[in-house]
Amino acid sequence: GTVAVIGLGYIGLPTAVALATRGVDVIGIDVDQNRLDAVAHGKVPFVEPDLAAGLSGSVAMGKLTVASEVPHADAYIIAVPTPFNADHSADLSCVRMAAEHVAPKLRGGEIVVLESTSPPGTTESLSRWIAELRPDLTLPHVGDGLPDVHVAHCPERVLPGRIMIEMVTNDRVVGGITRECADRAAAIYRVFCQGEILLTDAASAEMAKLVENAYRDVNIAFANELATVSDDLKLDVWEIIRLANHHPRVSILTPGPGVGGHCIAVDPWFIVGASPQLSRLIRTAREINDGRPDIVAHQIIEKSVRFREPTIACLGLTFKANVDDVRESPALDVVERIAKGLPEVEILVADPFVPTLPATLEGAANVRMTRPNDAVEKADIVVLLVDHDQFKSMSRCRLSGKVVYDIRGIWR
């Protein structure tokens, strides 16, 4: 059968390629015409290891095609963004829009899978939306008999930078509105997933996904709080974590400038939104991680004002190492704050994955983009914000005589 993948982003495109390279006929749909054109030419619109070969191969073989309108297909995978609103509630408008485009094409017998990370109850809403749009079809509601159209949730859990590996090797949670829905959805993922496929109900699958990212957020918040507290106590957080991690049951994560990306900085809010009174630890962790860029920037600004006309090099702008993604990047946030806090100071930014100055820095008259080595050479103060491999392997002699703020602890 054919699979339509709606949304060719960081998750949809790799999923489309994973299916197409294994012989499934896949149609990719996106609202962005530039993205469709790129994919139609077998070109990856973002940096992700191992995606390019699979994409160009499946396009050349005719297994992956693109369309700007949702066609009829036997299965639909919805992988659209689910950001949050200013009040941290989930913005489900893209899921709703996908439902509106899929509903008219249904004939009965199809499976619709939501992959987008969503608050508990969203898959049930998706099913109801389609039912309202297509009163002629039977859709599943909890406890119902056999529906015409099956609806399930299969949250993605791949790590950017390792998507093509993890998509195959990770275990996968599939939550159906009915058991039959889960079984049908699981059949799609068995095509490429070598991990275990765990069947459950839709709301549990939604919550499990949120919990995975909240777990990581809470643990990173712990590390970041240690960094802030250690600084206050004039202690070296890296030394303390190194020592504590020698305990057999302690494994503290790495502090940094904060938490970025479109997953860990977002998903815990969906739990807080669903149960605001009771999610105290999860909310606090979010606030600690969101507050980190300001704390880091302040430390650097405070210490820099002692210098006369210093030049500051800021290394790294992406939200984490070895990716080109600056969405919700705490490193970028820190640079913006330093640039505003020290308007007279020249700031040189460098990131091997970011070719031009991101839009949010364009207005800053004191910020310039250069190559990493040039930035370091000209600088009095070096601020390391992202642990890219290229920075790790940078020769230490370049740093001698400079004041170094190694926020990721890679040069210890």
Show contacts with ligand SAJ in window 110-149 (CB under 6 A): 117
Q: Match 């960081």 to its residue by tokens.
A: 10
Query: In whole angstroms, what is the distance from residue 165 CA to residue 155 CA?
Result: 16
Taking the least distance from each CB to ligand SAJ, the nearer of 264 and 382 is: 264
Show contacts with ligand SAJ in window 165-194 (CB under 6 A): none
Q: Whole-number minimum distance, CB 392 to ligand SAJ, in Å?
A: 14
Secondary structure letter of residue 297 according to DSSP: H
Q: Whole-number minimum distance, CB 345 to ligand SAJ, in Å?
A: 25
Taking the least distance from each CB to ligand SAJ, the nearer of 117 and 178 is: 117
Query: In whole angstroms, what is the distance from residue 337 CA to residue 330 CA?
Result: 10
Cβ atoms within 10 Å of 353's Cβ, excluding its own: 17
Taking the least distance from each CB to ligand SAJ, the nearer of 49 and 57 is: 49
Say whether residue 156 binds ligand SAJ (CB under 6 A): yes
Q: Give the residue from 360, 314, 354 showing the smallest Cα distance to 335.
A: 314
Q: What is the DSSP string of 341-372?
A: H-TTSEEEEE-TT--S--HHHHT-TTEEE--H
Q: What is the DSSP string of 27-51?
A: EEE-S-HHHHHHHHTT--SS--TTH
Taking the least distance from each CB to ligand SAJ, the nearer of 142 and 159 is: 159
Q: Whole-number minimum distance, CB 199 to ligand SAJ, in Å?
A: 20
Say whether residue 213 binds ligand SAJ (CB under 6 A): yes
Q: How far is CA 44 from CA 3, 142, 226, 405, in A?
A: 20, 39, 39, 35
Near ligand SAJ by CB under 6 A: residue from 22, 72, 105, 216? 216
Taking the least distance from each CB to ligand SAJ, the nearer of 63 and 320 is: 320
Say whether residue 375 binds ligand SAJ (CB under 6 A): no
Amino acid present at 103: A
Q: Give the residue from 113, 96, 117 showing the smallest Cα distance to 149.
A: 113
Near ligand SAJ by CB under 6 A: residue from 208, 253, 301, 403? 253
- x/- string (CB under 6 A) for ligand SAJ, residues 320-359? x---------------------------------------
**Are 137 and 149 a contacting pair, CB within 8 Å?**
yes
- From the list 85-93, 248-256, 276-284, 376-384, the region that binds ligand SAJ by CB under 6 A is 248-256
Query: In whole angstroms, what is the distance from residue 392 CA to residue 388 CA?
Result: 7
**Are 200 and 175 a contacting pair, CB within 8 Å?**
yes
Q: Any idea of the CA torsion for 264, 267, 269, 271, to the nearest 10 degrees?
A: -130
Say whether residue 254 binds ligand SAJ (CB under 6 A): yes
Show contacts with ligand SAJ in window 283-322 (CB under 6 A): 319-320
Taking the least distance from each CB to ligand SAJ, the nearer of 110 and 333 is: 333
| Residues forming the active site | 209, 263
Total of residues contacting ligand SAJ (CB under 6 A): 20
Taking the least distance from each CB to ligand SAJ, the nearer of 101 and 320 is: 320
- From the list 16-24, 77-85, 249-257, 377-385, the region that binds ligand SAJ by CB under 6 A is 249-257
Near ligand SAJ by CB under 6 A: residue from 63, 101, 153, 157? 157
**Are 368 and 347 a contacting pair, CB within 8 Å?**
yes
> Which residues are at the interface with ligand SAJ (CB under 6 A)?
117, 156-160, 212-213, 216, 220, 253-254, 256, 259-261, 263-264, 319-320
